[in-house]
């Protein structure tokens, strides 16, 4: 860019007249309102998602439950839950963490907070309209892209606002050299608008014809979950793990290697074998899916080597626990997805509960858990307060962890069992269905635990805010009284 | 190194990418190419699993006889109905009937195909009636093999006319066309009757 | 060096590759398909959905039936889709892109909580069964986990001695209550949509299994070349 900006060395020389220093506290202050707003609404949406998810899950205990209301039918609450999780929680939490990281890594204040707040508003109006739309029967019919047009348009512009602020912040950074996380976060910033506009234009605004719709939907869904979530989650983890443990990340180059292999092979598609499309599409998908084994292993090696022999006092740091779990889930879900892309396995697992189990392990086990960790790390800095009840943070961790394990494990095992039964043509279909019920019902426990966790999460955040509000009220009051004292 | 912020931002070591990861990447890419080769269907839009290549799908195509009856009807109406009439009953004394004709319904279609390709002249008996006043024109230059197969399939299998003989394939027409290259003139009924079924 | 543009270029390059390969290229290949003429019948395939079925497609979409039901039959050798009777093509290839030409939106589904519905229009032609099943799956399939859809039906009181309407899917003639359950327009449309779901036509992509029987004499039957003109049964009149 412009040559007037001094290279990074000049920053470390710390000559005061060259670049005035910006303290971490100042950066945090610039992020406070917009990032807190993103986090709070994310926490609200993840709770809403639990609410819908539990209703959907209960239908497998008793199909007639709440059957009289069209807006509570399974085919509506189920997508409402997944969309609230992905767009309400995932994107917002991800963007909040991303902005904070980009500002800190660039040693610069967040650029144009009002743009972020406007974007936040648009985004939440969009998601709210969209979820109501799904409940009202307006879903587009494309999995992962169900939010109707009147939701996706404001959401897109909301994203542009937030994304632009992220770009500006990156642009005005004072530390010119890039830390590995910045590669991931910057790529994520570009990625979403492209895939989201592409998918919405080709599926909703001016739909392509026939099975191409499913092809594009699969491409979009994969780019969102594998690439966007992957980039933001890994970007956050590669920052926070070294930061919390106060050790350097094991390898910068391995991080770059992960970056390249992830964006190149992760971004292809996930068309399952046997789909009604020309054979090369599933074949190329399998090729790409198998190659993602490489970035997954690279992440595993990098994280393991960074943490190797670590037993610092921060070991019980709740944020680190969330993130470490997230990394484990990343590797596990990645291995599951590689396995399920192989023809022989796909024959069994495709169309079964194994698929949503793997998906939830990515979206929740990896991404949401990493975001929880990041939020628990960031929020005390933003508010300059510690959580009132650290035990409640730990409680959230245990609930979320047990929740996702109790959700995904039964579904994955039940899914394999279901697939084997389906592939035995002699087993009547209804027997296959009833065979999965114990697993489905077990997974409801997971849903319930996660829901309680989300409630605690929201309370933890709200508690800090109340504390903050209370304190600023007090300072205001004391200032007042002082002022009054002076006056009197 | 002095820091501009209160707290040190994380750093990363510069250790190299483990060699086994790069080897793994290469091996997987190689495997992927082999996989695409066998499962990719040559990137053709017409190849679906479980087929592996366009040639296999093409080979598996059924030899559909007389592209379709609709096509046969179209050709019949456009070319034959003037003389043989849409009803297939022909015109007594001039144009012989196709409905119920033993020439049309013969199990072996080789004579019929010759009539169509090269035409027919001279006396001929159809359904115990004599014809021969007019000549049946040759179609070899006007209709393609597919069209001839289609119209003959239509005529032979036309239930409305009481016909129920099997279809005629493009290959059969092609073969006869090759055989009669040396016989440009219209056939006579006598000539045709001398032929055996597989000639 | 400023690495910002490099990251941008990396992203652009990777995403553009994926977009060209998985959006543009398939769109050029199968995105512009047209109806094709079926050789056996001369009909154009696939047929457009008639109006009522088209409305039913909306009901199917709005109520998310596709979260439990797939609409894609996997080819021979991929699971037991064919053995379970979900496929209708006498071919090793089952569902192909051509089948979905007029679906809007295309709802392939990714789960099989319930059976595949690609050919439900051939498999279950009894409308009363379909309606009763929608009203309450337990009436037809005891132990089903499919949710009932009572909101697609209306309850209508029966006066004493009044005959239930022939459309009624369910009638209660108790001492206390007399009513019948009638399908709403939405339910009727949905059933029309289910009836329109079938893809058995043979197209180029789905070559049929070689047949060993002699072709049927009727011009409407699929005709296959293996056994024509082989054994002459009668010769032309002399």
Place of tokens 């009054």: A484
Give chains near B: 3+ CB pairs under 8 A.
A, C
Chain B from 42 to 71: CB within 8 A of any C CB = 45-51, 57, 60-71
Residues of chain B with pLDDT > 90, as a percent, come to 31
Chain A from 426 to 465: CB within 8 A of any C CB = 429-430, 433-434, 436-437
C176 has a pLDDT exceeding 50: yes
A105 has a pLDDT exceeding 60: yes
Considering only alpha carbons, which residue of chain C is nearest residue B171? C225
**According to the model, what pLDDT value does residue B68 have?**
62
**According to the model, what pLDDT value does residue C230 have?**
31
**According to the model, what pLDDT value does residue C13 have?**
93
Facing residue for C39 by CB, picked from B60, B67, B165: B67
Q: Which of A189, A209, A343 to mutate to test binding with chain C, by most C CBs within 10 Å of its CB? A: A209
Helix axes B145-157, B110-118, angle to 10 degrees: 130
A223 with C10: Cβ contact below 8 A: no
- Output the CA–CA distances (angstroms, integers) from residue C26 to A266, B24, C16, C29, in the order listed: 18, 30, 14, 5
A279 with B40: Cβ contact below 8 A: yes
**According to the model, what pLDDT value does residue C52 have?**
95
Which chain C residues are Cβ-neighbours of B172 within 8 angstroms? 228-229
Q: Domain residues of chain A, as ranges?
A: 22-177, 222-478
User: What confidence category does residue A321 fall into, taking pLDDT thresholds of 50, 70 and 90?
Assistant: very high
A273 with C78: Cβ contact below 8 A: yes
Quick one: average pLDDT of A364-393?
A: 92
User: What confidence category does residue B66 fall into, taking pLDDT thresholds of 50, 70 and 90?
Assistant: very low
B96 touches chain C (CB under 8 A): no
Chain A from 368 to 407: CB within 8 A of any C CB = none
More confident residue, A472 or A440: A440
Helix axes A180-200, A92-105, angle to 10 degrees: 140
C27 touches chain B (CB under 8 A): no
Provide the b/e sequence for C96-125 (b: ≥16 CB within 10 Å).
Answer: bbbbbbbbbbbbbbbbbbbbbbbbbbebbe
Collect all residues with Cβ–Cβ distance below 8 Å to A190 and sequence separation of at least 6: C8, C11, C12, C15
**According to the model, what pLDDT value does residue C224 have?**
35
Q: Which helix (H) or strand (E) holds C178?
A: strand C178-183
User: What confidence category does residue C162 fall into, taking pLDDT thresholds of 50, 70 and 90?
Assistant: confident
Give chains near A: 3+ CB pairs under 8 A.
B, C
B109 touches chain C (CB under 8 A): yes
User: What confidence category does residue B64 fall into, taking pLDDT thresholds of 50, 70 and 90?
Assistant: low
Is A476 exposed, middle or buried (CB count within 10 Å of its CB: 0-12, 13-18, 19+)? Answer: exposed
DSSP SS3 for B24: helix
A259 has a pLDDT exceeding 80: yes
A254 with B15: Cβ contact below 8 A: yes
Considering only alpha carbons, which residue of chain A is nearest residue B23? A294
- φ/ψ of residue C160, rounded to 5: -60, 125
Which chain C residues are Cβ-neighbours of A355 within 8 angstroms? 110-111
CA of residue A260 relative to chain centroid, distance: 20
Facing residue for B10 by CB, picked from A179, A297, A298: A179
Which chain C residues are Cβ-neighbours of A176 within 8 angstroms? 2
**According to the model, what pLDDT value does residue A484 have?**
65
**According to the model, what pLDDT value does residue A1 have?**
37
User: What confidence category does residue B78 fall into, taking pLDDT thresholds of 50, 70 and 90?
Assistant: confident
A249 with B9: Cβ contact below 8 A: no
Cα(C120)–Cα(A208) distance, rounded to whole angstroms?
A: 25
Considering only alpha carbons, which residue of chain A is nearest residue C147? A63
More confident residue, A464 or A159: A159
Which chain B residues are Cβ-neighbours of A14 within 8 angstroms? 2, 4
CA of residue A185 relative to chain centroid, distance: 13
A17 has a pLDDT exceeding 80: no
Q: Please give the ipTM for the structure prediction.
A: 0.91
A132 touches chain C (CB under 8 A): no
C149 has a pLDDT exceeding 80: yes
State how far residue C64 is from chain B, nearest Cα, in angstroms: 28
Quick one: average pLDDT of C21-29?
A: 94
State how far residue C216 is from chain A, nearest Cα, in angstroms: 31
User: How long is chain A?
Assistant: 488
The answer to whether B177 and B140 are in contact (CB under 8 A) is yes
Facing residue for C63 by CB, picked from A75, A207, A437: A75
Quick one: average pLDDT of A388-411?
A: 94
The answer to whether B115 and B187 are in contact (CB under 8 A) is yes
A274 with C97: Cβ contact below 8 A: no
User: What confidence category does residue C217 fall into, taking pLDDT thresholds of 50, 70 and 90?
Assistant: very low
The answer to whether A193 and A160 are in contact (CB under 8 A) is yes
Considering only alpha carbons, which residue of chain C is nearest residue A175? C2
Quick one: average pLDDT of A26-36?
A: 93
**3-state SS of chain A?**
CCCCCCCHHHHHHCCCCCCCCCCHHHHHHHHHHHHHHHHHHHHHHHHHHHHHHHHHHHCCCCCCCCCCCHHHCHHHHHHHHHHHHHHHHHHHHHHHHHHHHHHHHCCCCCCCHHHHHHHHHHHHHHHHHHHHHHHCCCCCCCCCCCCCHHHHHHHHHHHHHHHHHHHHHHHCCCCCCCCHHHHHHHHHHHHHHHHHHHHHHHHHHCCCCCCHHHHHHHHHHHHHHHHHHHHHHHHHHHHHHHHHHCCCECEHHHHHHHHHHHHHHCCCCCCCCCCCCCCHHHHHHHHHHHHCHHHHHHHHHHHHHHHCCCCCHHHHCHHHHHHHHHHHHHHHHHHHHHHHHCHHHHHHHCCCCHHHHHHHHHHHHHHHHHHHHHHHHHHHHHHCCCCCCHHHHHHHHHHHHHHHHHHHHHHHHHHHHHHHHHCCCCCCHHHHHHHHHHHHHHHHHHHHHHHHHHHHHHHHHHHHHHHHHHHHHHHHHHHHHHHHHHHC
User: What confidence category does residue A19 fall into, taking pLDDT thresholds of 50, 70 and 90?
Assistant: low
The answer to whether C140 and C129 are in contact (CB under 8 A) is yes
Mean pLDDT in chain A? 91
A324 has a pLDDT exceeding 70: yes
**According to the model, what pLDDT value does residue C182 have?**
92
Asked if the bond preceding A152 is cis, omega within 30° of 0, the reply is no
Minimal CA–CA distance to B76: which of B155, B170, B3? Answer: B155
C151 has a pLDDT exceeding 70: yes
Quick one: average pLDDT of A182-196?
A: 95
Quick one: average pLDDT of A458-481?
A: 84
Q: How many CB atoms lie within 10 A of CB A387?
A: 18
User: What confidence category does residue A327 fall into, taking pLDDT thresholds of 50, 70 and 90?
Assistant: very high
Tokens of A220: 């979009």
Q: What is the pLDDT of residues B123-170, one digit of tens each?
A: 999 988 899 888 999 998 888 888 898 889 889 888 888 888 888 888
Cα(B178)–Cα(B187) distance, rounded to whole angstroms?
A: 15
Facing residue for C7 by CB, picked from A187, A207, A209: A187
Q: Which helix (H) or strand (E) holds C9?
A: helix C3-19
**According to the model, what pLDDT value does residue B169 have?**
85
B107 with C222: Cβ contact below 8 A: no
Q: What is the pLDDT of residues C72-94, one digit of tens each?
A: 999 988 989 999 999 999 999 99
A203 with C105: Cβ contact below 8 A: yes
Q: Which CATH number fits domain A222-478: 1.20.210.10, 1.10.3720.10, 3.30.1490.20, 1.20.1290.10?
A: 1.20.210.10
**According to the model, what pLDDT value does residue A134 have?**
97
Which chain A residues are Cβ-neighbours of C100 within 8 angstroms? 210-211, 213-214, 276
Chain A from 346 to 405: CB within 8 A of any B CB = none
Measure the CA angle with vertex C12, ends C11 and C14; round to 5°. Answer: 65
Q: How many CB atoms lie within 10 A of CB A76?
A: 28
Collect all residues with Cβ–Cβ distance below 8 Å to B172 and sequence separation of at least 6: B109, B110, B113, B149, C228, C229
**R_g of chain A computed on alpha carbons:** 23
**According to the model, what pLDDT value does residue A473 have?**
79
Quick one: average pLDDT of A409-433?
A: 95
A180 touches chain B (CB under 8 A): yes
B130 touches chain C (CB under 8 A): no
**According to the model, what pLDDT value does residue A385 have?**
86
Which chain A residues are Cβ-neighbours of B53 within 8 angstroms? none
Cα(A181)–Cα(A240) distance, rounded to whole angstroms?
A: 10
CATH of domain A22-177: 1.20.120
Cα(A226)–Cα(A228) distance, rounded to whole angstroms?
A: 6
> Among A5-9, A204-208, A439-443, which stretch is predicted with the lowest mean pLDDT?
A5-9
Q: Which of B5, B8, B14, B36 to mutate to test binding with chain A, by most A CBs within 10 Å of its CB? A: B5
Q: Which of C229, C232, C235 to mutate to test binding with chain B, by most B CBs within 10 Å of its CB? A: C229
**According to the model, what pLDDT value does residue C124 have?**
93
The answer to whether B73 and B175 are in contact (CB under 8 A) is no
Quick one: average pLDDT of A99-126?
A: 95
pTM score, two decimals? 0.82
Quick one: average pLDDT of A426-445?
A: 94
Which chain C residues are Cβ-neighbours of B106 within 8 angstroms? 232, 234-236
C215 has a pLDDT exceeding 60: no
A223 touches chain C (CB under 8 A): yes
Facing residue for C106 by CB, picked from A210, A284, A437: A210
Considering only alpha carbons, which residue of chain C is nearest residue A213? C106
B69 has a pLDDT exceeding 60: yes
B11 with A14: Cβ contact below 8 A: no
Quick one: average pLDDT of A201-217?
A: 95
Quick one: average pLDDT of A382-407?
A: 92
State how far residue A294 is from chain C, nearest Cα, in angstroms: 16
A20 has a pLDDT exceeding 50: yes
Cα(B72)–Cα(B64) distance, rounded to whole angstroms?
A: 13
C23 with A142: Cβ contact below 8 A: no
Quick one: average pLDDT of C69-74?
A: 96
A244 touches chain B (CB under 8 A): no
Mean pLDDT in chain C? 84
**According to the model, what pLDDT value does residue A51 have?**
97
B12 with A252: Cβ contact below 8 A: yes
Quick one: average pLDDT of A24-48?
A: 94
State how far residue A304 is from chain B, nearest Cα, in angstroms: 13
Q: Which helix (H) or strand (E) holds C154?
A: strand C153-157
A209 touches chain C (CB under 8 A): yes
Considering only alpha carbons, which residue of chain B is nearest residue C229? B108
């Amino acid at each position: 860019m412009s040559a007037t900006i001094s290279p990074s060395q000049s920053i470390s020389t710390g000559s005061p007249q060259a670049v005035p220093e910006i303290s971490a506290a100042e950066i945090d202050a610039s992020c406070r309102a917009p990032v807190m707003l993103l986090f709070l609404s994310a926490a609200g949406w993840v709770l809403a998602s639990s609410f819908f998810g539990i209703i959907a899950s209960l239908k497998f205990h008793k199909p007639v439950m709440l059957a009289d209301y069209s807006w509570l039918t399974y085919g509506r609450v189920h997508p409402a839950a997944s969309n609230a999780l992905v767009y309400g929680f995932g994107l917002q939490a991800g963007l909040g963490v991303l902005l904070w990281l980009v500002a800190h890594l660039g040693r610069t204040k967040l650029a144009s907070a009002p743009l972020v707040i406007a974007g936040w508003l648009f985004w939440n109006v969009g998601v709210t309209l969209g979820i109501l739309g799904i409940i009202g029967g307006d879903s587009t019919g494309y999995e992962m892209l169900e939010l109707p047009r009147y939701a996706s348009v404001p959401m897109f512009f909301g994203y542009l606002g937030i994304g632009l602020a992220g770009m500006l912040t990156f642009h005005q950074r004072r530390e010119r050299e890039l830390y590995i996380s910045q590669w991931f976060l910057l790529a994520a910033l570009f990625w979403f608008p492209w895939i989201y506009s592409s998918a919405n234009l080709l599926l909703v605004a001016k739909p392509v014809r026939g099975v191409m719709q499913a092809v594009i939907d699969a491409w979009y869904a994969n780019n969102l979950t594998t690439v966007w979530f992957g980039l933001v989650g890994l970007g956050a983890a590669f920052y926070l793990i070294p930061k919390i443990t106060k050790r350097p990340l094991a390898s910068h180059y391995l991080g770059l290697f992960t970056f390249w292999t992830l964006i190149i092979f992760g971004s292809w598609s996930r068309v399952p074998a046997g789909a009604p499309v020309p054979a090369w599409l599933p074949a190329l998908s399998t090729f790409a899916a198998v190659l993602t084994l490489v970035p997954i292993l690279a992440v595993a090696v990098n994280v393991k080597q960074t943490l190797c022999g670590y037993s610092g006092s921060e070991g019980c740091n709740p944020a680190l626990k969330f993130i470490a779990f997230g990394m484990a889930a990343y590797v596990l879900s990645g291995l599951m997805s590689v396995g399920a892309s192989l023809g022989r396995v796909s024959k069994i697992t495709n169309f079964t509960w194994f698929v949503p189990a793997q998906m939830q392990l990515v979206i929740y086990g990896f991404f949401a858990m990493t975001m929880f960790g990041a939020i628990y790390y960031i929020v005390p800095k933003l508010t300059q307060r510690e959580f009132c009840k650290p035990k409640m943070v730990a409680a959230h961790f245990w609930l979320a962890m047990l929740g996702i394990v109790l959700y995904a494990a039964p579904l994955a095992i039940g899914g394999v069992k279901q697939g084997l039964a389906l592939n035995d043509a002699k087993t009547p279909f209804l027997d296959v269905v009833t065979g999965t019920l114990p697993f489905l019902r077990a997974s409801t426990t997971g849903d319930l635990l996660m829901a309680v966790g989300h409630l605690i999460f929201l309370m933890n955040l709200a508690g800090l805010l109340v504390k903050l509000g209370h304190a600023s009220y007090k300072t205001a009051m004391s200032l007042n009284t002082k002022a009054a004292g002076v006056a009197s | 190194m002095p820091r501009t912020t209160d707290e040190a931002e994380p750093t990363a070591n510069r250790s190299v990418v483990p060699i086994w990861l790069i080897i793994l990447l290469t091996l997987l890419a190689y495997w992927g190419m082999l996989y695409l080769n066998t499962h990719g269907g040559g990137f053709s839009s017409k190849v679906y699993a479980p087929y592996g290549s366009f040639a296999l799908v093409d080979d598996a195509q059924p030899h559909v006889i007389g592209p379709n009856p609709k096509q046969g009807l179209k050709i019949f109406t456009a070319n034959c109905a003037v003389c043989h009439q849409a009803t297939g009953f022909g015109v007594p004394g001039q144009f012989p009937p196709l409905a119920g004709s033993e020439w049309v319904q013969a199990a072996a279609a080789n004579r019929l195909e010759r009539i169509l390709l090269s035409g027919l002249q001279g006396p001929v008996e159809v359904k115990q009636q004599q014809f021969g006043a007019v000549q049946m024109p040759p179609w070899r230059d006007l209709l393609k093999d597919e069209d001839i197969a289609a119209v003959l399939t239509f005529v032979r299998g036309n239930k409305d006319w009481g016909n129920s003989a099997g279809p005629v394939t493009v290959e059969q027409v092609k073969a006869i066309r090759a055989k009669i290259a040396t016989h440009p003139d219209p056939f006579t009924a006598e000539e045709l009757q001398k032929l055996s079924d597989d000639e | 060096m400023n690495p910002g543009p490099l990251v941008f270029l990396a992203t652009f390059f990777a995403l553009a590759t994926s977009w060209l390969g998985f959006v543009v290229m398939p769109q050029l290949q199968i995105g512009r398909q047209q109806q094709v003429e079926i050789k056996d019948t001369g009909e154009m395939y696939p047929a457009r959905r008639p109006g009522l079925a088209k409305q039913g497609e909306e009901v199917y979409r709005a109520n998310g039936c596709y979260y439990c039901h797939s609409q894609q039959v996997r080819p021979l050798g991929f699971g037991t889709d064919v053995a379970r009777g979900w496929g209708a093509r006498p071919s090793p290839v089952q569902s192909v892109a051509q089948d979905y030409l007029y679906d809007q939106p295309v709802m392939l589904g990714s789960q099989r909580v319930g059976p595949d519905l690609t050919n439900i229009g051939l498999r279950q032609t009894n409308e009363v069964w379909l309606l009763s099943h929608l009203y309450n799956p337990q009436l037809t399939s005891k132990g089903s986990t499919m949710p009932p859809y009572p909101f697609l039906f209306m309850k209508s009181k029966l006066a004493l001695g009044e005959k239930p309407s022939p459309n009624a899917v369910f009638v209660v003639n108790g001492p206390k209550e007399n009513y019948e359950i009638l399908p709403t327009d939405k339910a009727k449309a949905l059933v029309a949509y289910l009836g329109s779901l079938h893809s058995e036509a043979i197209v180029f992509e789905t070559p049929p299994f070689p047949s060993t029987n002699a072709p049927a004499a009727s011009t409407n039957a699929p005709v296959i070349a293996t056994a024509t003109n082989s054994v002459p049964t009668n010769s032309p009149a002399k």
